[in-house]
Amino acid sequence: MTLELIPVARPRAYPPRVSAFTQTFWEGLGAGRWQTTCCEACGKFTFPPKPVCPHCWSDRMHWKDLGERGTLYSWTRIHAAPKVFVDEAPYAVCVVDLDIGLRIATRLVERPDKPCQCGMPVELVVLQYEDGPLLASRPL
Ligand SMILES: [Zn+2]
């Protein structure tokens, strides 16, 4: 299962720091693969990906592919953006509850035909900037 890649004709305004550990995540996301770490000891997911489980402190973590659906928990549209994001304003951000029990924050890709409302279903997509990917959500 791969996420839709949406091209964005600019570099990321605040690119994430990629470590040796998170490189798996970023390379996968660039190909539309949505994955995070899951603990082999307690079975819980973590996001962002972590080498040690924050629930039981086990270091037996493995990568697991995730579903692309969730529910919009909250969202807002940013008009007065921080300086680094001024060129992208206005833009929307959101908090999404994933079906697997994780709550994550992403950019929100608004659709003129589907006004955003808390509780509505969303799908995850990848914003493919010139210098790399970012995870985003879009109303279904
Ligand atoms: Zn654990």
Distance from the alpha carbon of residue 95 to the mean position of ligand 1, in angstroms: 24
Distance from the alpha carbon of residue 23 to the mean position of ligand 1, in angstroms: 22
pLDDT in tens, 33-76: 999 999 999 999 999 999 999 999 999 999 999 989 999 999 99
Statement: the pTM of the whole predicted model exceeds 0.85:
yes
Distance from the alpha carbon of residue 20 to the mean position of ligand 1, in angstroms: 21
From residue 129, give the alpha-carbon distance in Å to each of 14, 16, 54: 11, 12, 31
Full 3-state SS string of 70-132: EEEEEEEEECCCCHHHHHHCCEEEEEEEECCCCEEEEEECCECCECCCCCCEEEEEEEEECCE
Distance from the alpha carbon of residue 40 to the mean position of ligand 1, in angstroms: 7
